[in-house]
Amino acid sequence: MYQADIAIVGAGMVGLALARALKDVPVSIVLIDTSPIQKPLSDDPELRVSAINAANQQALSDLGAWQALPEARLSPYTSMQVWDQDSFGHIAFSCEELGAQSLGHIVENQALVNALYGKVIGQSNVTTLPSVQITKVLAGKSETMLMLNNDEVVSCRLVVGADGANSAIRQHANFPLTFRDYGHTAIVATIRTALPHAQVARQVFTPSGPLALLPLRDPHLCSIVWSQTSDTAQALLAQQNSEFAKGLQVAMNGEVGKIEVHSARMHFPLTMRYARQWLSDGLVIIGDAAHTIHPLAGQGANLGLQDAFALAERIGQLVNNEQPFYQARFLRPFERARKAEAVKMIAAMEGFKQLFGGDNPVKKLIRGVGMSTANALPGLKQKFITQAMGW
């Protein structure tokens, strides 16, 4: 039997970030995942990447994890360009406008997981249990028992569900969930561009959904996230690479020259999920287990990391004040604050999706005027830049 104060279920970047952020808090932690946690990186860039903003980069650096990232597996983006296809609407941000070195970094998800894991396994207060399944959760008033498929048992005071969008911990807790199918499918791939990306993150809004080009370390490689209506996405996925690449060039209006598909193409449906309850006595959920949003602004990973850091801070406060960190009433301030941020982001993404979806002439005019105005007003534009950086 493993006995611990906290069991973190899910060892992705959010679960690992929580474990790392608790490094100086006198609590014992068991970290559980269904898969091996550390995995070798492929020679080519991994398909799943995240845009980590400057605020989270600083937090990860403070935890010693950012420095452990292989330099070849992350790329700074110094500018952002966003425009509306076939319209005059355009806005551009640059880190130079705030005197910063970058707006953030594009990071391969597995590279960040590996870096965090390398730090976490050195912590004396963490035990890792990879490649195991939880078969049963037995919750008591002051203790929860997690039965594992290898006949082991984990006893803990607090279970943290960081186990993703289809969270088994959330389902066990029966937390009510608001769910909406965006009607979009995201296509992700790595592409090679004739012109260098110049560390610019680009996003174009097309009538059937947004296309983002995220700059990778190689000046001619970008990761794409092409969110299209599901019917359009299926048609794109059926195309040969050459035809698919031509579609990208057209959507990008030739911004990066000729495009070639450099990797396999992966796709997944896009849904909004929002858990209306995040905690009960002895249990709390964070990250994608609590909320998923449309990737059009690339804020899903940042939102989850902030959940982890905020929960670690609250647990640290409670432990230092000798208060029961596993009771819901003491964790309520964390829930209120993070739910407010999640709702704000969900509403913003819904607003963007509605405003930028379709080719209605009136909406295109509103979009064009709004983007051009924001681009021309220094105060408003600076606010957008600071928000993009997470400050």
Which pLDDT tens digits describe the chain residue by residue (391 residues)?
A: 999 999 999 999 999 999 999 999 999 999 999 999 999 999 999 999 999 998 999 999 999 999 999 999 999 999 988 887 666 556 777 777 767 788 899 999 999 999 999 999 999 999 999 999 999 999 877 899 999 999 999 999 999 999 999 999 999 999 999 988 888 899 999 999 999 999 999 999 888 888 999 999 999 999 999 999 889 999 999 999 999 999 999 999 899 999 999 999 999 999 899 999 999 999 999 999 999 987 766 688 999 999 999 999 999 999 999 999 999 999 999 999 999 999 988 877 665 555 555 555 655 555 555 555 555 555 544 555 556 566 5
* Local structure of residue 131 (DSSP, 8 states): S
Plot region of 32 (φ>0 → left; ψ -120 to 50 → alpha; else → beta): beta
104 and 53 in contact (C-beta within 8 Å)?
yes
CB atoms within 10 A of CB 342: 21
Phi, psi of 128 (to 5 degrees): -105, 140
Tokens of 275: 């858990």
**Distance of alpha carbon 287 from alpha carbon 311, whole angstroms:** 11
Could you identify the residue written with the tokens 């064009």?
368
Domains with residue ranges and CATH for the chain: 2-41+109-179+271-351 (3.50.50.60), 67-108+186-270+359-389 (3.30.9.10)
What stretches of the chain show up as alpha helix (H) in DSSP?
13-21, 54-62, 109-120, 168-173, 230-237, 241-252, 300-320, 328-356, 361-376, 378-389
**Distance of alpha carbon 282 from alpha carbon 123, whole angstroms:** 23
Cα dihedral 340, 344, 350, 352, rounded to 10, equals: -170
Q: What is the pTM of this model?
A: 0.91
